């Protein structure tokens, strides 16, 4: 046989030995060497349990479900593990609602193996959203970043930028805040030649904001306007919306109203987001207005079917909804919030479960007793009584002052005594007042007695003039049609373009029926402009 084949190979081709014949003994005693566990770097290890990975191949977080329930009271645990039906968590002040929310999300990820991308958690401030996401990430790891944890407005912006073409504007649309909206309304009222004393632009802006919070657009309001004032407001509303469209812009209230209209007008879009977000959680539900309530309903979906359409096995069941709130803490009625949304939750969702969180972890029993007695005077509220195991605490001291100066002086004396006795440091003491202008008398007294203090608040960063100017420039670059931002910075820094020059440009734009930005580019054609303005 050719040396092409070695002996071992030929041996395999030989006929089998007779039954019972012993194989020849090995030439040498050979002890097999152990094979290192990492010989192939794990490439050929047995595949891991498929439950350890999501469909997209990302690893599931390793979470101990039992550990998520450690330190929670009975009702808190029930809220964390509840599943299957809509859940209303009525959380009294200091009852640990944020902990319950974050542990519920972690339980969804760790115990129920929900993909993070299927979770939408809505809060009322960006700060609260950031804190919630940070807490969840601490519990389950970086996979929490795939969740949508944001405010109503932020969620709507994401949806609208993705679906903008369906609504006739570009994804680079500008967002007008309250100041931008008031500026645009002032321009509208001027163009309608309205008396600013009889028809204040600020008042018009507030009324239109309230209409949008009730999902009443300009056409619906015009149809129901009766007296002269409402008809004038309807005119301003219509022109205001027209100017927004021309500027490829939406105001804050538009963000939610437009998203609701989008989901209602395009069932395929609504189904897309309902399939994506299978778990919707809403914090501070008592502070939602009608538009926000409707948005939640559209995102969650309903199990109801039209009478003439039989149910199908392919129908998408509603998402699992969890809302947290407390009617006793509703403070935003002035901007359209209604406790009706929380009081009627069980009517809106007949199969809902309600869990009360009444144990307080923040205050002493005397404080809670006083608070319970005050809030009990609210008629029609859901019965609830906060309690704590932190003890009675110190007595509540009341002082009736003769005037505001006497009140401030007494407060200063109490602070001085607390500091001198070593019971508290100045940074541990807070003075609350109802309105900002009430701080003046306290500041005068603190300065007179040499007491250090700091007024918390002031002008917010994004409301500072220089910041708003910089943002206006960026908005114009991203969206040249944004006339409000353009007119804000047209003479910032000073470049010799005053009100008269701006009016000439606007008249030229109206005469030529072109946009203000286009007229600005053709300013050399405006003969009435002074050379220094060109």
The total domain count for the chain is: 4
Query: What pLDDT, on a 0 to 100 scale, did the predictor assign at position 499?
Result: 81
Q: Which of 530, 469, 531, 534 is nearest to 500 (CA)?
A: 530
- As a whole number of angstroms, the longest Cα–Cα distance in the chain is 122
Q: Are strands 279-282 and 119-123 parallel, antiparallel or unpaired?
A: parallel
Question: What pLDDT digit, counting tens, does each position of 477-508 carry?
Answer: 999 889 899 989 888 888 878 888 888 888 88
**Average pLDDT of the chain, as a whole number:** 86
* 187 and 244 both lie in a single domain: yes
* 188 and 233 both lie in a single domain: yes
The enclosing domain of 247 has a CATH number of: 1.10.10.160
**170 part of a folded domain:** no
Domain boundary (332, 359, 386) is at 359
* 284 and 149 both lie in a single domain: yes
Q: Give yes or no for residue 2 having a pLDDT over 90.
A: no
* 411 and 348 both lie in a single domain: no
Distance CA 10, CA 4 (A): 10
Q: Give yes or no for residue 62 having a pLDDT over 90.
A: no
Most confident of 14-18, 55-59, 169-173, 508-512: 169-173
**74 part of a folded domain:** yes
Instruction: Please compute the mean of the pLDDT values over residues 359-376 and round it to a whole number.
Output: 93
Domain boundary (251, 276, 308) is at 251
* 262 and 247 both lie in a single domain: no
Q: What angle do CA 526, 530, 532 make, to 5 degrees?
A: 120
**89 part of a folded domain:** yes
**294 part of a folded domain:** yes
DSSP-assigned letter for residue 371: H
* 380 and 423 both lie in a single domain: no
* 274 and 354 both lie in a single domain: yes
The enclosing domain of 280 has a CATH number of: 3.40.50.300
* 153 and 271 both lie in a single domain: yes
* 326 and 372 both lie in a single domain: no
Concatenate the DSSP letters of all residues of 278-346 into one string.
SEEEESSGGG--HHHHHHHHHHH--S---TTS---TTPPPPPEEEEEE-GGG---GGGT--THHHHTHH
* 350 and 371 both lie in a single domain: no
Confidence band for 330, pLDDT divided at 50, 70 and 90: confident
**352 part of a folded domain:** yes
Range with lowest mean pLDDT among 141-155, 301-315, 321-335: 301-315
CA dihedral 490, 492, 494, 500 (to 10 degrees): 30
Q: Give yes or no for residue 199 having a pLDDT over 90.
A: yes
* 444 and 389 both lie in a single domain: no
Distance CA 364, CA 116 (A): 38
**348 part of a folded domain:** yes
* 147 and 276 both lie in a single domain: yes
- Is residue 89 helix, strand or coil? strand
Q: Which residue is associated with the tokens 């929670």? A: 72
- Who has greater pLDDT, 531 or 282? 282
- In which domain, by residue range, is 434 found? 404-449
């Amino acid at each position: 046989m050719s040396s092409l084949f070695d002996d071992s190979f030929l041996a395999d081709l030989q006929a089998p030995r007779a039954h019972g014949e012993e194989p020849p003994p090995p030439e040498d005693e050979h002890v097999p060497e152990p094979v290192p566990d990492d010989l192939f770097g794990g490439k050929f290890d047995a595949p891991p349990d498929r439950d350890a990975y999501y469909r997209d191949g990302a690893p599931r977080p390793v979470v101990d479900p039992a550990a998520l329930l450690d330190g929670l009271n009975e009702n808190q645990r029930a809220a964390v593990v509840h599943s299957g039906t809509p859940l209303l968590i009525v959380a009294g002040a200091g009852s640990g609602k944020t902990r319950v929310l974050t542990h519920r999300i972690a339980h969804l990820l760790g115990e129920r193996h929900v993909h993070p991308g299927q979770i939408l958690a809505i809060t009322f401030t960006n700060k609260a959203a950031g804190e919630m996401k940070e807490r969840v990430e601490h519990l389950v790891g970086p996979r929490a970043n795939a969740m949508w944890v944001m405010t109503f407005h932020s969620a709507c912006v994401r949806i609208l930028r993705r679906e903008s073409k369906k609504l006739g504007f570009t994804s680079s649309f500008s967002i007008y805040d309250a100041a931008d909206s008031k500026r645009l309304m002032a321009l509208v009222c001027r163009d309608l030649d309205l008396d600013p004393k009889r028809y204040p632009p600020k008042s018009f802006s507030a009324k239109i904001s309230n209409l949008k919070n009730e999902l009443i657009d300009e056409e619906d309001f015009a149809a129901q306007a009766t007296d002269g004032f409402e008809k004038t407001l309807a005119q301003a509303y219509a022109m205001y919306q027209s100017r927004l469209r021309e500027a490829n812009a939406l105001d804050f209230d538009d963000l939610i109203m437009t998203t609701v209209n989008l989901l209602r007008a395009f069932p395929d879009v609504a189904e897309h987001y309902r399939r994506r977000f299978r778990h919707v959680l809403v914090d501070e539900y008592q502070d939602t207005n009608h538009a926000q309530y409707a948005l939640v309903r559209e995102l969650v979906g309903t199990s109801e079917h039209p009478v003439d359409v039989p149910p199908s096995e392919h129908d998408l069941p509603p998402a699992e909804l969890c809302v947290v709130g407390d009617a006793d803490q509703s403070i935003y009625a002035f901007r359209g919030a209604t406790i009706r949304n929380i009081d009627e939750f069980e009517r809106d969702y007949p199969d809902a479960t309600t869990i009360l969180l009444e144990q307080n972890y923040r205050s002493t029993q005397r404080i809670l007793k006083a608070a319970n007695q005050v809030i009990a005077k609210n008629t029609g509220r859901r019965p609830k009584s906060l309690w704590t195991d932190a003890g009675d605490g110190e007595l509540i001291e009341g002082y009736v002052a003769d005037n505001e100066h006497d009140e401030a002086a007494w407060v200063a004396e109490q602070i001085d005594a607390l500091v001198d006795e070593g019971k508290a440091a100045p940074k541990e003491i807070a003075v609350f007042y109802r309105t900002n202008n009430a701080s003046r008398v306290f500041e005068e007294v603190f300065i007179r007695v040499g007491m250090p203090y700091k007024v918390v608040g002031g002008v917010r960063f994004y409301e500072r003039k220089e910041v708003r100017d910089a943002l206006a420039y960026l908005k114009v670059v991203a969206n040249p049609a944004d006339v409000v931002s353009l007119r804000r910075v047209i003479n910032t820094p000073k470049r010799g373009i005053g009100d008269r020059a701006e009016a000439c440009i606007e008249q030229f734009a109206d005469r030529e029926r072109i946009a203000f930005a286009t007229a600005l580019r053709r300013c050399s054609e405006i003969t009435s402009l002074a050379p220094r303005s060109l």
